[in-house]
Amino acid sequence: MGEHIDDCIIIGAGPAGLTAAIYLARYHLSIRLFDCGSSRAALIPCTRNHAGFPDGIKGTDLLKRMSEQAAKYGALREDRKVERLERKDDLLVVRTDSGTWRARTVLLATGVVNRYPDTLSRPLHDEALSKGLLRYCPVCDGYEVTDKRVAVIGTGDHGTAEAMFLRGFTADITLVSPHGDHDLDDTCRNKLADAGIAHVPGPCGGFSIEGEQLAFDTAKGRMAFDSVYPAMGSDVRSELAAMAGAETSDDGCIAVDDHLQTNVPGIFAAGDVVIGLDQISHAMGQAGVAATRIRNLLAEERPLRR
């Protein structure tokens, strides 16, 4: 273990992590950014609701711009997978797959992983996503499916809520159960009926891109759609926080205060790992708040002077 101690180690280089890196580097702090290359933002073919990009911007292009901006001000990025986080001797110890580092503070920006039908292969998943045939965030891109034929793969309250949200963009919506019969109570069924949303039992399988649509088999036969939204939830990447003793909610999100600090001194979190809102702007806003609190916390420990 080296003698150098970073002011802050950021884990995760998505919109939240990179925003924090830009802030902290411009506060003249020593910043190290670890990333394993799995930001969901990289999968976005084109986001058009990010302010300042009226014609949209590809997720990888946005991350590249942000990474270059952080590097310009001195943030050091390293492609490493963090495997353990712990607090020891008033410092935070970050163990990666190829080395160990120490820091005064740590910001977790590890995000979440979307769930999708296990019968959909990853190569096909990524191809469909790149073509806008598969989508995850109706808040981000519901506008893009205006008056198109849309499927929501899901059931219960969550699937119903996503189908109802998308009803504001198109009248042609089908809610398909991912595994078998739907789990819909009377309230859900009444909402779907009132909105004119069909519901079809699963399982879903035999996915393929056919022309300009994504097609798959259901219990009612093969169906094809202009866009498909999996509404099957997500898995929160909060394992590092938990092993360091940070509190998490029942669904795995990291519990933080108004300044994005956890119950463990020096550990902060921002973005979807705090609340799975799936919004770049919200993640960036949280990161700005967290980064400024980190700066002020470090200044309380020792004066920050040029």
Domain count, the chain: 2
9 and 22 share one domain: yes
Round to whole Å and give the CA distance between 58 and 39: 13
14 and 104 share one domain: yes
215 and 155 share one domain: yes
Record the pTM. Answer: 0.93
123 and 259 share one domain: no
CA distances from residue 7 to 105, 107, 301 in whole angstroms, order as listed:
6, 11, 11
Confidence of residue 137 (pLDDT cuts 50, 70, 90): very high
**pLDDT tens across 140-193, in order?**
999 999 999 999 999 999 999 999 999 999 999 999 999 999 999 999 999 999
**Average predicted confidence (pLDDT) for the chain:** 96
Confidence of residue 1 (pLDDT cuts 50, 70, 90): very low
Helix axes 15-26, 59-72, angle to 10 degrees: 20
121 and 226 share one domain: yes
End position of a domain, from candidates 170, 204, 230:
230
pLDDT score of 242 more than 60: yes
CATH of the domain at 121: 3.50.50.60
Query: Residues 176-193, buried b or exposed e (16+ Cβ, 10 A)?
Result: bbbbeebebeeebeebbe
Secondary structure of residue 223 in the 3-state scheme: strand
User: Would you say residue 306 lies in a domain?
Assistant: no
**pLDDT tens across 33-57, in order?**
999 988 999 989 999 999 999 999 9
Reference 201, options 225, 226, 175, 223; nearest CA is: 175
Cβ atoms within 10 Å of 139's Cβ, excluding its own: 12
Domain carrying residue 248: 5-113+234-301
